[in-house]
Amino acid sequence: MEKKKRASFGSKLGFLAAAVGSAVGLGNIWRFPYELGQNGGFAFLIVYLLCAFLIGWPLMLSEFAVGRMGQSNVSSSFANIIGNKRWNWIGIMGAVCVLLVIGFYAVVCGWSLEYIYQAITNQFSGQSPQELSDSFSSFTTGTWRPILWLILFLVINCAIVVGGVQEGIERTSKVLMPFLFTIIVVLCIRSISLPGGLEGLKFLFSPDFSKITPSVVLSAMGQAFFSLSLGMGCMLTYGSYMRKENHLGKTAFEVVGMDSLISILCAMTIFPAVFALGIDPSKGPELVFITLPNVFNQMPGGYFWGILFFILLAIAALTSTISMLEVITAYVSEEWKLNRKATAIGTTVLIALLAIGCSLSMGVWNEYTVLGMNLFDLFDNFTAKILMPIGGIAISIFFGWIVDRKSREAELTNEGVLKLKYLKFYTFLLKYIVPLAILAVFADQLI
Ligand code: TRP
């Protein structure tokens, strides 16, 4: 049989849209603002940016490079580079990790659809903060509603991935990402211009470095990994569809920059509104689903802004779940020589089962716990605190130490075409700083 040419992204911009789409997700809109609120505002932001650029960037660049060099999925890429299968376990672990992440992630994606529906049918209006909170918990602990929404979400997700890399993923990202960016800028301006909104900006940008503790550093690094889709081969898989002439280092820098910018814009949207209305900023995961509907209720034109916000949330989530499904679909269909469409559908069914389990674990199944956690929290903690750090360390050791210097530099410089001023700095970060920093955080967590 003739060897089929591997799919690739059609253009640089298309690739950028897809990679930023993978990075920008619930991590930026839902998780970043509450982590920031709980961990002291500006100090957290600074630590976060350091993690994103000094650990996230070299790691993302390495994932891109391993993917493009190996020209295969999350597992075989390693074997294609060094000629033996000794490192393929990283990819298998990555695929399993992605499966668990999307299992709990899809539940929150489903919530975003429910909240679009509630916003359109004007259900927030007239509810007191207590009622909003009660209706959120009765919805999330319910049985059928969250399941139906998450299935709908996964079906849309599957349809896009079935379309293929260029026709499905790239095309969707190119339409949705500019739209997402526009919505977030508009919402941000609206929020800051609320009377009293500037107080929120003051909270965000007043440094209180006494707040920086080891646990804050830990949260910031975990957040950087999650937000940049690192440590489980997502960026590796996308990298394998990159063209030989693309500038990997620059692209990775752009993705890290855009992702951080969007996280900051989200925080600059949420906090001014929260402060303008005198609501406690240090709320946890319910910040987006309880606090914000309350904000929309009190805001002129809140009906419209509420719809826009939850559409933003769903779009951001979708471009991330696409990248997760692609990792598994590429892996299974290439390794087991299965049809891509059938694989995507089969994987979606499996994901739906896991996600249904996670959803029920918040309600009727909440008495079943492991280590005191329900399934949702277990998947979240196990992937973020164990699998992703191991994956990150493994990729940095592989590309920094196992791959020889000449091949590494040839890949990074496009066979010597690019002159990279940062090559030494990058190599230093990759070989020493990245694995040691992750190891430190990892060890700290285990203790
Ligand atoms: N980065 C996405 C977010 O911020 C989530 C995500 C997509 C992800 N792909 C991933 C997280 C791979 C970890 C690994 O929401």
- Per-residue pLDDT of 383-394, as tens digits, reads 988 899 999 999
Q: Is the CB of 21 under 6 A from ligand 1?
A: no
Tens digit of each residue's pLDDT (9 = 90 or more) over 63-75: 999 999 999 999 9
Q: Please count the other Cβ atoms lying within 10 Å of the Cβ belonging to residue 384.
A: 18
Ligand 1 pocket test target in 225, 229, 329, 380 with most atoms within 8 Å of CB: 229
Tens digit of each residue's pLDDT (9 = 90 or more) over 305-348: 999 999 999 999 999 999 999 999 999 999 999 999 999 999 99
- Give the residues across from 373 on adjacent strands: 370
Ligand 1 centroid from CA 373, angstroms: 22
Q: Is the CB of 112 under 6 A from ligand 1?
A: no
Taking CA atoms only, the protein residue closest to ligand 1 atom 6 is 229
Ligand 1 centroid from CA 137, angstroms: 25
Q: Which CATH class is domain 12-446?
A: mainly alpha
User: Which is the closest atom of ligand 1 to the Cα of 230?
Assistant: 14
Q: pTM of the prediction?
A: 0.94
Q: Is the CB of 324 under 6 A from ligand 1?
A: yes
- Please report how many Cα atoms fall inside a 13 Å half-sphere around the Cα of residue 240, on the Cβ side: 27
User: Which is the closest atom of ligand 1 to the Cα of 22?
Assistant: 7
Q: Is the CB of 23 under 6 A from ligand 1?
A: yes
The pLDDT value recorded for residue 4 is: 60
User: Which is the closest atom of ligand 1 to the Cα of 30?
Assistant: 15
Q: Is the CB of 323 under 6 A from ligand 1?
A: yes
Ligand 1 centroid from CA 297, angstroms: 31
Return the HEC string of the chain.
Answer: CCCCCCCCCCCHHHHHHHHHHHHCCHHHHHHHHHHHHHCCCHHHHHHHHHHHHHHHHHHHHHHHHHHHHHCCCCCHHHHHHHCCHHHHHHHHHHHHHHHHHHHHHHHHHHHHHHHHHHHHCCCCCCCCHHHHHHHHHHHHCCCHHHHHHHHHHHHHHHHHHHCCHHHHHHHHHHHHHHHHHHHHHHHHHHHHCCCCHHHHHHHHHCCCHHHCCHHHHHHHHHHHHHHCCCCCCHHHHHHCCCCCCCCHHHHHHHHHHHHHHHHHHHHHHHHHHHHHCCCCCCCCHHHCCCHHHHHHHHCCCHHHHHHHHHHHHHHHHHHHHHHHHHHHHHHHHHHCCCCHHHHHHHHHHHHHHHHHHHHHCCCCCCCCCECCECHHHHHHHHHHHHHHHHHHHHHHHHHHHHCCHHHHHHHHCCCCCCCCCCHHHHHHHHHHHHHHHHHHHHHHHHC
Q: Is the CB of 52 under 6 A from ligand 1?
A: no
User: Which pLDDT tens digits describe the chain residue by residue (447 residues)?
Assistant: 345 678 899 999 999 999 999 999 999 998 999 888 888 788 899 999 999 999 999 999 999 999 999 999 999 999 999 999 999 999 999 999 999 999 999 999 999 999 999 999 999 998 988 899 899 999 999 999 999 999 999 999 999 999 999 999 999 999 999 999 999 999 999 889 888 888 888 888 887 788 888 888 888 998 999 999 999 999 999 999 999 999 999 999 999 999 999 999 999 998 898 888 787 777 777 888 988 898 888 888 999 999 999 999 999 999 999 999 999 999 999 999 999 999 999 999 999 999 999 999 999 998 898 888 999 999 998 998 889 999 999 999 999 999 999 999 999 999 999 999 999 999 999 999 999 999 988 887 777
182: CB partners within 8 A, 6+ apart: none
Q: Is the CB of 30 under 6 A from ligand 1?
A: no
- What is the distance between the alpha carbons of residues 306 and 310, in angstroms, rounded to a whole number? 6
Ligand 1 pocket test target in 320, 325, 381, 387 with most atoms within 8 Å of CB: 320
How does 156-169 read in b/e, with b if 16+ C-beta sit within 10 Å? bbbebbbbbbbebb
User: Which is the closest atom of ligand 1 to the Cα of 28?
Assistant: 4
Ligand 1 centroid from CA 198, angstroms: 31
Angle between helical axes of 88-120 and 144-162 (0-180°, round to 10): 120
